[in-house]
Structure 1
Amino acid sequence: MAVHNIGLIVIDEFQNLLECKSFSKVMRFLDTLVNVVGVPILYIGTSKIYKLFCPENVKSFRSVRRIATGFYREVDRYKENDDFWNEMVLLYWMNLLCINETDPCDEILSLIYRKTQGIPAILEYLMLRINIYVSDNSINQVDADLINDIYDTQLIPLHEAVAALEVGDTDAYDDICPISELLRDILQDIKGEETSKPERVARPDDPKDNMSEKTKLEESLPLDRDKEMAELEDLLKM
């Protein structure tokens, strides 16, 4: 990495790794890569990405800690009164292929937000369809009726998702629920399981207790770079 001056590895659309049956091997490879080489990795993706760090069949505080302490940042949709959002809408409005004599009024701005829910990609697609329509039909003014008609007839696949966002139903889709809420739910499940378990008395002759002490000891030891490098080489051969 130092030879090629690599200071950061960026992996986009990381949630697509879930479609790979051997994604656990890839995750182990990336973890070992960070530990051995020391180059940070930036993962970019939807909130489904948390499943790569917190598998459904594994609920552990360690898994949650890997995300929560990994300097993750959630990119939320824009609020209706966000200045940048309104400037973006105005920019699209100014570039419509028709003669709009005035800037969009508050009613139009509110309508556009309801139909896009502050998501730039949906805004872009809506304005694109409006632009094509006004160009093909020589329309000089865009009003609320036209916006509603374009949305109702040409953005049908998005209706259910936009409606879920409008009422705050983030559980309807597993890739729009904020990661902070998902982590909170996992932590609550972990705490519930811990409180429901009876207190267990440790016994020196119990293999489980010995294994627990061995694990604690291994975690307290410094990183064995030779061992990690050998594991990295094995993963590369897979």
Structure 2
Amino acid sequence: MSTQQSNRVTAVYRTTTLLAYQGNPLIEALPPLNSFIEDLSALRGSLKCTPEEIHLNGVERAHSICRVIDDFFQPLSQHIQLHERISLMIRGGYVGRNPDTGDWARHIQNGYERVLSGDLKAIKFTEVNSTAQSMTLIGCSGNGKTTAMKQLLSLYPQVIYHPNMNLEQVVYLKIDCSHDGSLKEICQNFFRAMDRALETSNYEKQYSMRKRLSIETLLAAMAQVANAHALGVLIIDEIQHLSRSRSGGSEKMLNFFVTLVNTIGLPVILVGTPRARKIFEADMRSARRGSGLGALFWDPMDEGREWKALTDKLWSLQWLQKRDEVLSGEIRALWYDLSQGVLDIVVKLFVLCQLRAIATKVERITPKLMKQVYEDELRPVHPMLAALRSDDPEEIIKFSDLKLSDTDKRLLELQQRVALSTQQTPEEFAYQQLRTDEERRVYMALKDDFNSKLLAPIIRQIFDQNPSLTWIRLLPLVHEYLNNPELSKPKDNPKKPKSTGRKASVKQTEWHTLDSDDLRFIYSQTDSNSEIYPAISKSGLVLNIQSLLEEAS
């Protein structure tokens, strides 16, 4: 069974059955060649919600809820192709750089020649061949490209040390294009990322901090460093940010990427939004050269089998005290309509709903709450979602790389709101758990003699078991129960007073905190009188006379 790899390991060589890979230490030091199914256990996140965590205070639960954004990962069918291509590109690229055949040394000698001449096309050994491939991954912002890449790369150690060659092999390196970036900035980001992987600061000092170096010199140095550490694959994310004007045009950018693959022998994966297409389609000849293994286009998720599996898995990660265990068809359909299957929005909408449910003490996700969260917290992405609903390609491209930074800010604000709502003493927290003035009177009478955390739930339990008694009559029952915790029920009062007919009352402003099958809660989830009957009927609280008559006949 495969597991996620450590960042740095010492080489352990495994014999491979494929002839092309045999006798190549750069390949034989990699993890076993597994199928996607064999790697599933490592890809699935370990995030779980336990019954004990549901009863923690709001602040602690909010922290657990926010972990879903970073720790939740559901393997999907679109990840299968990416898993296979990453594996093929890393291993295939090493075929032409085998240290035992001298190919790797010849690549390094060619790289040294390029650094000396400042010419990326300079070579010393003409018989060196490249077995590297390139690939592009295109999809709208929020479709899970970066997250999937991170999870799939975690199956490999980033650095493998070969003692016999004194080589630190860097299996993969991922860099991001900054906004309005250039090829020079890509090189600088490369040296920083290489230093992070190797836990040094040599390359950034040597190249990035020297302002007078030309772009040609930096590109040659970047290629040489990649070969010196036998880099398996270079991933360049957010490629749509690359500025054609600052990089010398699309042709120059593509020539750079093609040179990395065909001349240097370095596999390259370019990741971006549909806006990045103009970089590759500007020159058809270069576009064909840069295609390599082709392109993967990731669309938002369809409302099908995988959508059901994804939402069911997410639904189990609720830290809400009155949560519905089964996801209703109504909420599932609404969830898809509001998110349009964009994975980042799917997850963040779910997280924001939970934070809002805790902050407002609703403690469950309802259609009304989900709509309110969408309107209040996800307003920045409404244009992108409207474009997806329109199914208009031009509109989709227009909003394809819209960022969700404003949504991230709202997550932090809601976390703070939850914290403020729970910044109270244990007595204040327990007091808020009580529903009526009569329950609170009992609490005030006994709070100095008993533990607050124990007192509040016992009061609620006794009031639920004796709804017709006044708080004066219930006070001795609560006291007796607390003094005899082994009792499963409070003893019946032998002289049970006559019912006064008074029921425990809850203010209308607090109806949204009641149980889901309470008529008052159902009423609180409607916005107009015309919605009340359909809501009650949907809850199964209306007797269907017609169906009974049909059964009787």
Q: TM-score, normalised by structure 2?
A: 0.29
Deviation for aligned residue 1:96: 2.5
Q: Tell whether 2:386 aligns with 1:163.
A: yes
Structure 1 pair 150/133, CA: closer, same or farther in 2 (3 Å)? same
CA contact (8 A) 1:77 1:118 kept: yes
Which residue does 1:139 correspond to in 2?
A: 362
CA contact (8 A) 2:231 2:266 kept: yes
Deviation for aligned residue 1:43: 0.6
Q: 1:7 aligns with which of 218, 224, 232?
A: 232
The letter for the 1-side match of 2:258 is D
CA distance in 1, matches of 2:234, 2:293: 15
The letter for the 2-side match of 1:163 is A
Structure 1 pair 19/129, CA: closer, same or farther in 2 (3 Å)? farther
CA distance in 1, matches of 2:386, 2:314: 23
Which residue does 1:76 correspond to in 2?
A: 299
Cα distance per residue 1:5-36 (max 9 Å; x no partner): 21221111111113762253443322222232
Q: Tell whether 2:377 aligns with 1:154.
A: yes
Which residue does 1:47 correspond to in 2?
A: 274
Q: Tell whether 2:318 aligns with 1:96.
A: yes
Secondary structure of 2:228's aligned partner: coil
Which residue does 2:247 correspond to in 1?
A: 22
Deviation for aligned residue 1:104: 1.3
CA contact (8 A) 1:129 1:150 kept: yes
Deviation for aligned residue 1:144: 0.9
CA contact (8 A) 2:384 2:399 kept: no
CA distance in 2, matches of 1:139, 1:73: 42
CA contact (8 A) 1:46 1:176 kept: no
CA distance in 1, matches of 2:314, 2:383: 24
CA contact (8 A) 1:17 1:23 kept: no
CA distance in 1, matches of 2:263, 2:287: 22
Q: Tell whether 2:348 aligns with 1:125.
A: yes
CA distance in 1, matches of 2:286, 2:392: 26
**Equivalent residue runs for 1:167-182 within 5 Å:** 167-174=390-397
CA distance in 2, matches of 1:163, 1:27: 33
Q: Tell whether 2:337 aligns with 1:110.
A: no
Q: Structure 1 or 2: larger helix share?
A: 1
The letter for the 1-side match of 2:288 is R
CA distance in 1, matches of 2:323, 2:265: 55
CA-atom RMSD in angstroms = 2.3
CA distance in 1, matches of 2:277, 2:398: 10
Question: Any unmatched runs of 5+ in structure 1?
Answer: 178-238
Secondary structure of 2:295's aligned partner: coil
CA distance in 2, matches of 1:14, 1:148: 34
**Equivalent residue runs for 1:185-196 within 5 Å:** none
Which residue does 1:232 correspond to in 2?
A: none
Secondary structure of 1:128's aligned partner: helix
CA contact (8 A) 1:47 1:175 kept: no
Larger Rg: 2
Structure 1 pair 32/118, CA: closer, same or farther in 2 (3 Å)? same
CA contact (8 A) 1:47 1:176 kept: no
Instruction: State, as a whole percentage, how many aligned pairs show the same letter.
Output: 26
CA contact (8 A) 2:280 2:286 kept: yes
Cα distance per residue 1:74-100 (max 9 Å; x no partner): 1121101132x3222223322233222
Larger RCO (alpha carbons 8 Å, 6+ apart): 1
The letter for the 2-side match of 1:8 is V
CA distance in 2, matches of 1:96, 1:161: 27
CA distance in 1, matches of 2:314, 2:367: 16
The letter for the 2-side match of 1:41 is V
The letter for the 2-side match of 1:33 is L
Cα distance per residue 1:180-223 (max 9 Å; x no partner): xxxxxxxxxxxxxxxxxxxxxxxxxxxxxxxxxxxxxxxxxxxx
The letter for the 2-side match of 1:120 is L
Deviation for aligned residue 1:170: 2.4
Deviation for aligned residue 1:173: 3.6
Deviation for aligned residue 1:114: 0.4
Secondary structure of 2:269's aligned partner: strand
CA distance in 2, matches of 1:92, 1:44: 26
Cα distance per residue 1:130-167 (max 9 Å; x no partner): 11111111113321111111111211112221122122
CA distance in 2, matches of 1:100, 1:47: 39
Secondary structure of 1:159's aligned partner: helix
Deviation for aligned residue 1:45: 0.9
Which residue does 2:97 correspond to in 1?
A: none
Structure 1 pair 93/64, CA: closer, same or farther in 2 (3 Å)? same
Which residue does 1:32 correspond to in 2?
A: 259
Q: Name the count of aligned residue pairs.
A: 172
